[in-house]
Amino acid sequence: MSNFDDRFLKLLENRKRDYKTWVPIYCLAMREYVFFGMRGFNHLRFKIDNSPRSPSETMYKLGLIPLIRPAIHLATVVEKYERRISPVGGSHKKVLKEMEYWAVESIVGKSNARIRVVLRRLIGSKQVHFWSVMKLNDNQKSPSVADEDD
C-alpha cells in the first residue's frame, strides 16, 4: 500500500468517526437546525450516480469536514436555492424524488477560507440535512447547487 493510500484511509477513518458524533446545529441563514446523516458523508466519497470520486477529490472534501459546522453556524444568508427532482438511494435501488437544495457560505478556519455548504431536504420532510462542501476561491464565481451533484 502506498503512502497516499495509508494517509487516505487514516483520514477517512478519522473523519468518519468524528462525523458520526455530530449533533444537529442551528443555521441562522435557514432559521432551523441542520442534521448530519451518513448520506451526506457518503456524498463526499461518491457522486450522485454512486460512482466513486477520485481519491484526491475525496481527500480534498474530507479535509474540509472540520469547516462544515462553523460554516453552517456562521452563515447569515442563503446564497442559492433550487428545487428539483434528484435520485435518492444507493446503487441498487434509485428513486427520483423532489428535493430542495440550499447553499450557504461563510469565511471560516485559520486561513479564512470561503466555504460553501450545500444542504438539502426531501419535499415533505421536516429535516434539512448536510449534503456537500467545497472551498471557493476569492475570484471564483459561485457554482450552482446542481454542480455539487457530480
Look up residue 57 and give its amino acid.
E
Confidence of residue 73 (pLDDT cuts 50, 70, 90): very high
Selection from 35, 44, 22, 27 nearest residue 128 by Cα: 35
87-111 as b/e: b if 16+ CB within 10 A: ebeeeeeeeeeebbbbbbbbebeee
Confidence of residue 4 (pLDDT cuts 50, 70, 90): confident
Residue 5 predicted with pLDDT over 90: no
Higher pLDDT among residues 7 and 74, named by residue:
74
Question: For residue 85, what is its C-alpha cell?
Answer: 427532482
Residue 92 predicted with pLDDT over 70: no
Element (H, E) at 43: helix 38-43
Q: What is the pLDDT of residues 94-144, one digit of tens each?
A: 789 999 999 999 999 999 999 999 999 999 999 999 999 999 986 555 555
Question: For residue 60, what is its C-alpha cell?
Answer: 480534498
What pLDDT shows up at residue 50?
83
Mean pLDDT, the chain, rounded, equals 90
What percentage of the chain reaches a pLDDT higher than 70? 88
Cβ atoms of 118 and 145 within 8 Å: the answer is yes
Residue 81 predicted with pLDDT over 70: yes
What pLDDT shows up at residue 64?
96
Residue 2 predicted with pLDDT over 90: no
- What is the full DSSP assignment across 78-134? EEEEEEEEEEES-SS--EEEEEEEEEEEEEETTTTEEEEEEEEEETT-S-EEEEEEE
- Domain residue spans in the chain? 3-149
117-141 as b/e: b if 16+ CB within 10 A: bbbbbeeeeeebbbbbbbbbeeeee
Entry field: residues in the chain: 150
Angle between helices 3-19 and 55-63 (to 10 degrees): 40
